Amino acid sequence: MESKENQTHSISSWIEFVNGSSATQLEKEKKIIELRHFESFTIALKNVGIINDIKEMEISEIRNGPDFVILLNNERIGVEITRVFNSAAESINIRKAILRETTKIFEDKYPGVNLLVNIGFTNNFDEKQNDTDSFKNELADFIHSYSLTNDSWSKPKYIESIFCIKHSKLSFDLSGAYSSSELSSTNINNSIHKKNLKINSYKINSNLSKVWLLLVVLGDSPYSDYSHVNIKLINPNNSFDSIFLLNDYKKEVVMVKNPIT
């Protein structure tokens, strides 16, 4: 808790800087999330004794490539952050996005109808195939019809469960229990490869001695967790000086490539 309080104080000025910038609201939100990931990263490193004090890794600059520049042991080090997902979380994120967009469609089609809706999709629901405007319109129409009749027999085959009541505001959310699953080494390798293409320009344009890659497993809920990952299957052929895998939910970090030297 002490580490978190100290680091929250450390990044608070950077959050204020981001909020006061001319970036779009979406860009601001993305950068603040990255700042929170960096906060978790330093806490995780301190927890395992890699650093003694979170102040050893204070941010020097915020950039777009890499995301941050830090000063450590008199070196300018770039930190690039990217998210990776276990298979369950990847599927859930798509389903949540479908519901967010369905909410907007519902609001446009049925203004003033405020509902609290929890939906559980079936296990065989194909979220990638159904990530279309036509499907979201169909779902919005069904929810509106269901809110009037509560006829469970009419629900589509892709819906396992639905809970719907009148509410003070409109809110669609995903229901159901989520379990952790394997973190795919293929997904990790693809993420590393995409970021590796930019590393030379990072070093030259930002005058950096090293560039690290921080792979983040989201930390917003237990379903972000993962059961295991086979580090041996992660391709070492990249130009990053160090690569870290951060479990943001548990504040745990694994060194995928090269310890801090």
Specify whether 74 is located in the same domain as 114: no
pLDDT at 217: 82
Specify whether 93 is located in the same domain as 166: yes
pLDDT at 207: 86
Specify whether 93 is located in the same domain as 170: yes
Domain-terminating residue out of 131, 154, 174: 174
Specify whether 170 is located in the same domain as 186: no
Listed residue (256, 261, 258) closest to 82, CA to CA: 256
Amino acid at position 221, single letter: S
- Token pair 């892709």 is at which residue? 158
Domain-terminating residue out of 141, 158, 174: 174
**What's the total number of domains in the chain?**
2
Specify whether 27 is located in the same domain as 105: no
CA separation, residue 52 to residues 40, 79, 131 (Å) = 15, 19, 46
Q: How far apart (Å, rounded) are the C-alpha atoms in residues 207 and 78?
A: 9
pLDDT at 154: 81
Specify whether 106 is located in the same domain as 167: yes
The DSSP code for 41 is: H
The pTM of this model reads: 0.67
Helices 2-19 and 25-47: crossing angle in degrees, nearest 10, is 160
Residue 91 backbone phi and psi in degrees, to 5: -65, -45
Specify whether 207 is located in the same domain as 154: no
Specify whether 45 is located in the same domain as 95: no
Q: What is the 3-state secondary structure (H, E, C) of 121-136?
A: ECCCCCCCCCCCHHHH
Per-residue pLDDT of the chain (261 residues; tens, 9 = 90+): 544 555 555 688 899 999 999 988 888 988 998 999 999 899 888 888 888 888 888 899 998 889 999 998 889 999 999 988 766 667 777 898 999 999 999 999 999 999 999 999 998 899 889 999 999 999 999 999 999 988 777 889 999 999 999 999 999 998 865 555 567 788 889 889 999 988 888 888 888 999 999 999 865 555 555 656 777 888 888 999 999 999 887 788 888 887 665
Specify whether 162 is located in the same domain as 231: no
Specify whether 76 is located in the same domain as 190: yes
Specify whether 78 is located in the same domain as 187: yes
Specify whether 169 is located in the same domain as 187: no
Domain-terminating residue out of 111, 146, 174: 174
* Domain limits for position 191: 2-86+181-257
Q: By the 8 A CB rule, do 102 and 108 touch?
A: no
Q: How far apart (Å, rounded) are the C-alpha atoms in residues 122 and 120?
A: 7
Amino acid at position 173, single letter: D
